Amino acid sequence: MKIAFFDTKTYDKPSFDKYAERAGITMKYFETKLTEDTASLAQGFDGVCVFVNDTVSALVIDILLEQGCKFIALRCAGFNNVDFKHLAGRMPVFNVPAYSPHSVAEHAMAMLLTSIRRIHKAYIRTRDFNFSLNGMTGFDLHSKTVGVVGTGKIGRCFIDICRGFGMKVLAYDKYPADIPDVTYVDKDTLFRESDIISLHCPLTDDTYHMIDDDAIAKMKKRAIIINTSRGALIDAAALLAAIKERRLGGACLDVYEDENDLFFEDYSNHIVSDDVLARLISMPNVIVTSHQAFLTEEALDNIAQTTIENVLCYLTEGCDKNRVIV
Ligand code: NAI
């Protein structure tokens, strides 16, 4: 059995090699992303393994099907990059619904603490033997209100972490669950009453630009927004305008709506043409990481194990474990 693995990074290989070898699967690692131009590389393979910024558009799907591709194995939880309407069930798509919700929730808190305690500034200052504290005043998280949008696996981990800091938690979810001691409120109340808002819901038609001018206008002045979910939950231009107007206290972004052509790559010697991103990055109260919230050893191992199990189970027993049904 052979799998064409797209958008390969060096950190992907050790865990995938380990589980693929055990399962007798041959992996062919391509550094390029899956796109309409590269789909032909999957010719002769049983299936493809793709990540968040690979394109599984209508044309890519047609090429893959024509080449005899039997499955699409996503090595991530989100699946907004797949055109399911066009696919219409003609081959299964598997995902890894949970690999370490802790990795993402802990990263969200790491970004928040970095931002409000100015760790990113302190790191640079002390390396230059600048031990001044001017401009470094932060604030306590204790007793602050955090609004968590999406109380699934990651949202719940984040709530637990926030509780450890003595924060008051408000939650909004389209499908509220019965979680002890979580107060669900409507979205507007959450926007109005939270000092910190953290997004943990999927990107859907419903949630696209959930944070826009209108939503920001309802928020507390100086509120901080954390997004470790999907970039397009936030209208980045509206966010930038609010940061420039000092309407918001800051933003912690692990994802960005136009990240596809930038994130995961080294552009340090290029001129980046995305003015909104460049301006956001230039702000002292905006922290950007390049979709790395998932990146822990535990998560990488779980991702590889589940992805290989999904494929093996389907090809040997025809089972549909972790098949994405939309
Ligand atoms: P999950 O499926 O366990 O939870 C998602 C929650 O969002 C559910 O409770 C669901 O009811 C809720 N939801 C759905 N539609 C909603 C809406 N319109 N408004 C409010 N809530 C809504 O997913 P999980 O594992 O907690 O992941 C959350 C998101 O995190 C994923 O969709 C993915 O986009 C993102 N993610 C980001 C990673 C990163 O490295 N930055 C890694 C893994 C996931």
pLDDT digits (tens, 9 = 90+) for 107-124: 999 999 999 999 999 999
Indicate the burial class of 166 (C-beta count within 10 angstroms; 0-12, 13-18, 19 or more).
exposed
Instruction: Specify the pLDDT at position 279.
Output: 98
Instruction: Specify the pLDDT at position 181.
Output: 83
Gap between the Cα atoms of 18 and 12, Å rounded: 11
Instruction: Specify the pLDDT at position 78.
Output: 87
Backbone angles phi, psi at 319, to 5 degrees: -85, 155
Is the CB of residue 95 below 6 angstroms from any atom belonging to ligand 1?
Answer: no
CB of 37 within 8 A of CB of 282?
A: no
C-alpha distance from residue 253 to each of 88, 224, 316 (Å)? 33, 11, 41
Q: What is the dihedral of CA 300, 303, 307, 312, to 10 degrees?
A: 80
Is the CB of residue 156 below 6 angstroms from any atom belonging to ligand 1?
Answer: no
One-letter identity of residue 194: S
Q: Give the length of the chain.
A: 326
Give the residues of the chain that fall short of pLDDT 50: none
CB of 223 within 8 A of CB of 211?
A: no
Task: Name the residue of 53, 99, 170, 200 whose CB sits within 8 Å of the most ligand 1 atoms, as the mutation to test its pocket.
Answer: 200
Task: Name the residue of 52, 95, 173 whose CB sits within 8 Å of the most ligand 1 atoms, as the mutation to test its pocket.
Answer: 173
CA 50 to chain centre: 15
Catalytic residues: 230, 259, 291
Gap between the Cα atoms of 322 and 308, Å rounded: 11
Q: Considering the entire predicted model, what is its pTM? A: 0.92
Q: Work out the number of other CB atoms within 10 angstroms of the CB of residue 266.
A: 6
